[in-house]
Copies of this chain bind each other. A is one copy, B any other.
Amino acid sequence: MACKSRVSDAIATLVGVFHEYASKDCEEDHFKLSKSELKELMQKELDMDNVKDPAKLDELMKELDEDGDGQVDFLEFVGLVAGMACVCNDFIELMLSEQAKSE
């Protein structure tokens, strides 16, 4: 799914990576992340090793699984990504503001 623009590429990556992990567990719903699929995605694609702790993973699953079906669908996943992007942006804006003050 190659695109020539960076935001389109980022969107294609999010959809592609989600489906790559959601389809790993054969018996589960291919369009949703099971807990084990979520754990692997968080570790490998978001550098979040704290999900090794079962309690942290359960907490994350509970937070993301808004419809309570025990899995994470794409809408719930993209909510996580959007939240993380906003945290990242807040940090960048803080740094840029500090930088501007010191100039």
Contact = CB atoms under 8 A, between A and B. Distances in A.
Interface string A1-37: 0011111111111110111000000000011000000
A55 interface: no
Contacts of A8: 45-47
Given A7-B46, A15-B89, A18-B89, A82 B84 contact: no
A49 B56 CA distance: 44
A70 interface: no
Q: Could you tell me the dominant secondary structure of chain A's interface residues? A: helix
Interface string A72-103: 00110011011011101100110010000000
Given A30-B96, A93-B31, A47 B15 contact: no
